[in-house]
Structure 1
């Protein structure tokens, strides 16, 4: 038998050349006005997306969607608290925790990467990406040289660096630049802190250029940028913005590090729908002036589970973010191209020399007919062993991140009157002798309600508190969950509490057992099943329910609230299966079950 030696040699040569191309090393550097790739001016057209907000199965599709819009780069936040799940316990391997895999897929799809590792990121993400275990330290100070904070940061930087150093362009990977902190000039002015962060990355093997990102104002740039780092502008939309960058440092390039195609939405607001005409004008300016740009975000994804953050700009304000991070982005929550996407694609195509690929096919979406749920159990039947304390402590004191927490005491002395919680973080339900009295919501500072008179000799007071997301921006980020100080009745401080931890995490939900609920009260679990012949993305419509959390096949889809505007929760096809699927709902107010169904869009 004759072997086709020529063909074998050619095949081996092709494999070698392909491998060499994949591992080709590049030099990305900062010119005086331009970014330089291997010594030549390079314009980054970047689309930002966050691996933690996208099911791993859809990473490649979303990256391909950004490329087909005209992007040549992907910007990605790394959420520290998503990677370090407990002190010293890191997850860089399971599901969408695998940051290195995401970056490698970018490389395979011919995309460069801007890495945004924090440690603080904002991003409408719980605690701005910082791990909530820091809040167990009573006097913790964040985003500065506080030794407790910096010790944790040092461990995070060292661990993340092991995942990403080999993926720098200097080593044949796609990472061009690394961001130092995030919008620091909006928060503080500790240059020692910023320089220490940069040195940490360098000491751990990061050798690509650094950049900072701040608002285009003189004081923010002075406080937030460090010498030698490229200047990102959030956003850079005109000559005056870039003049501010040049005044800060005329010897490094600047770019629009966050150009906003959409915007965030809080519970109780209308969906944010920014003007597309203004966006196109800004992008046209950037293209005309050959400025690099990062679209924040090109695709938002979803705040699955308890990952959504919140804003607050006063001591009594609290604005929790929706579960959906659709953001009115060019690529919507489910990964579909919007009219905004095609408008940007058309505009970008007029300026670039490379060919834009065809738009990938959309992920199939399915509807699910009405599913009638049934009472399953209640939080009150799932109470763990209580923990005694003189006064209430927040969740973080017990190593609980979010979920729910129940505080219980007996009323001795005063039995009725004005009950004040200082401070309720974030949504509290108050009961006396098992009967629901009222709710107290953190926003607005109205933290008092009237307790009715009772004939009971020693009434039992229960306060069930839901954490709705740690504040992720500005000056009020030290934001512990539960009751953060004290409870008073007519001015008397109530003592001797039992505390019940209710994290309602995956382990908690999987352990639930069917129990007859003879006396339904706020905090009911409902359960049902539905059959599928085929899977597809769907949105679980919760419009007949009040407020709570939804799990499908054990996956936490996130929070819902009839306050709106969001009524439907995204469920990716990868979390469904052919045959029988299970849905569990925890509702804080509904006592009788209702139906849910699956829709094919986020909104009607």
Structure 2
């Protein structure tokens, strides 16, 4: 028996040593015309994209294992520049979800390869497409081009990120096979000098490639967005015609579907996006049967916690903010469950594989939380900081504020009533006269004029409270500053001399709040409640009884809610809860009465 135990121990040690050797083994990944070669053998990428910034760190391994169990061998990863450089020149690649190297190493530990998608621009329905909003403090800044201020910031970012990922390249024993240059650039512009400069920056900082680009499968996008020696990613590659378009453009590099969409994004005021599954099955069958490499965008979406959600706009007056959930109708749900779509895709991939797939990991625990009684304890108006004077309104970014609220206040001199026009309100404005709410203005649609009623006050005080709801992250209207971007007029007269109050609504600000006397509470009330837990687990807080605002749990910003829908419940991971007493704080911009809040096991009402 002792000999048997000794044999098992030796065999286990040898196995672990073998795994360690494999983990550190240097691997070659290169192109051979129309195919990828891993260690000189044809390799089909089956990728399942996920973003560590959107996934609680405690669940990183679970989500990677879920992707592997569905049949994926690779994890494409967007890096959100503005998530790691929240202040100019100050980077964080070590704390919490920001430890991107730890995530990539975890992928390797689970036997998965990685495609690095570092931008600098990524889109991703993420605030400003991942670009740092501090760039917008320059009034004439140009992005995604050779603007010297932009490229200085890009160079600083690439140099710092390269330090994290260089040891993790496959040629250095890590799992990173390829690095993407920019993202869908052919949909935006045609500056080949910019793309070449990005490639040179990566090479000069120790990232030699191989590289790929990612663009729509049209000749003009590929002409504007690709590099001669970079593989061609297609967003998406759904048919033989798409791949023929790529090979016609450049027959000397492989092409693959870099974003195959099993779901789609959802904006506020829309219905949930639920794409047809039969067409997805047909598309994946084509890719598998023809041994095309492809990546699901996304296999698991996660959550736009805090103020990280972006927005779309395809005209000067359009504005479509993204919801807080990034469930995306993906195969793995927001809280990590295997959906019916997941099972279909797993079965389809398994049918085209000669290897047995791992078992599906156990579902993460969820809990229900009974109704929590809430009560008002302070308001925006009782928490105003010292104001900053400006002749005309300036946007948040001018003051190095990127999100939250900004309040503008002025005394009406000359005109006291009539047509008030805000040019432009980014993104949701509340207009008050002598402390009374007159009207609200939503940026979308360009209807930015309201009526100011007559008053007996000699010089009424006009206040405009503006909420930023996410910087535009795609296409031509990305220069998107928050607050009032130009001016305010009353009957055509430009209003001057403003007091500006900065209200970032960050966690530090919320933690500093103290109870105030409730007299005079109106429009912009903080509500607080406490609840006890005997156990923790994931839950979804139901905000359907509230109007519009933000939710904080034990100091963590869950994100925005809005009763226009479709989302009514906000996801809260177990690690933001604790046994014993928990605190929930809600800032509601429009609601003047408290309502109960409860936690549920599912996102659906």
| Pairwise TM-score range, normalised by the shorter structure | over 0.9
State the partner residue of 1:194: 195
CA distance in 2, matches of 1:446, 1:7: 75
Q: How does 1:313-324 map to 2 (within 5 A)?
A: 313-324=314-325
Using the size of structure 1 for normalisation, the TM-score is 0.98
SS in 1 for 2:86: strand
Tell me if 1:311 matches 2:312: yes
CA distance in 1, matches of 2:353, 2:525: 56
CA distance in 1, matches of 2:524, 2:55: 30
SS in 2 for 1:85: coil
State the partner residue of 1:362: 363
Q: How does 1:374-413 map to 2 (within 5 A)?
A: 374-413=375-414
- 1:325 CA drift (Å): 0.3
For the aligned residue pairs, the C-alpha RMSD in angstroms reads: 1.4
- 1:519 CA drift (Å): 1.4
Gaps of 5+ in 1: none
CA change 1:411–1:329 in 2 (3 A) is: same
Tell me if 1:47 matches 2:86: no
CA distance in 2, matches of 1:518, 1:10: 74
Count of residues paired in the alignment: 603
CA distance in 2, matches of 1:354, 1:224: 37
- 1:352 CA drift (Å): 1.6
CA distance in 2, matches of 1:511, 1:344: 48
CA change 1:511–1:362 in 2 (3 A) is: same
CA change 1:13–1:47 in 2 (3 A) is: closer
Query: Is the contact between residue 169 and residue 208 of structure 1 (CA under 8 Å) also seen in structure 2?
Result: no
SS in 2 for 1:556: strand
- 1:5 CA drift (Å): 10
CA distance in 2, matches of 1:8, 1:381: 67
Residue by residue, what CA displacement relative to the aligned partner does 1:466-485 show, whole Å, maximum 9, x if unpaired?
A: 00000000000000000000
CA distance in 1, matches of 2:11, 2:76: 37
- 1:10 CA drift (Å): 6.8
CA distance in 2, matches of 1:208, 1:249: 18
Query: Is the contact between residue 378 and residue 521 of structure 2 (CA under 8 Å) also seen in structure 1?
Result: no
Query: Is the contact between residue 161 and residue 206 of structure 1 (CA under 8 Å) also seen in structure 2?
Result: yes
CA distance in 2, matches of 1:16, 1:334: 35
Using the size of structure 2 for normalisation, the TM-score is 0.98
Q: How does 1:283-298 map to 2 (within 5 A)?
A: 283-298=284-299
- 1:208 CA drift (Å): 3.1
State the partner residue of 1:419: 420
Query: Is the contact between residue 533 and residue 578 of structure 2 (CA under 8 Å) also seen in structure 1?
Result: yes
Gaps of 5+ in 2: none
Residue by residue, what CA displacement relative to the aligned partner does 1:1-55 show, whole Å, maximum 9, x if unpaired?
A: x999999987765554332121011000011111000011000100000010001
Tell me if 1:149 matches 2:161: no
Residue by residue, what CA displacement relative to the aligned partner does 1:250-298 show, whole Å, maximum 9, x if unpaired?
A: 0111000000000000000000000000001000000011000100000
CA change 1:439–1:5 in 2 (3 A) is: closer
Residue by residue, what CA displacement relative to the aligned partner does 1:87-115 show, whole Å, maximum 9, x if unpaired?
A: 01101011100000000000000000001
State the partner residue of 1:84: 85
CA distance in 2, matches of 1:8, 1:342: 38
CA change 1:212–1:589 in 2 (3 A) is: same
State the partner residue of 1:34: 35
Query: Is the contact between residue 170 and residue 207 of structure 1 (CA under 8 Å) also seen in structure 2?
Result: no
Q: How does 1:46-445 map to 2 (within 5 A)?
A: 46-445=47-446
CA distance in 2, matches of 1:340, 1:128: 28
CA distance in 2, matches of 1:127, 1:355: 41
SS in 2 for 1:330: coil
- 1:85 CA drift (Å): 1.3
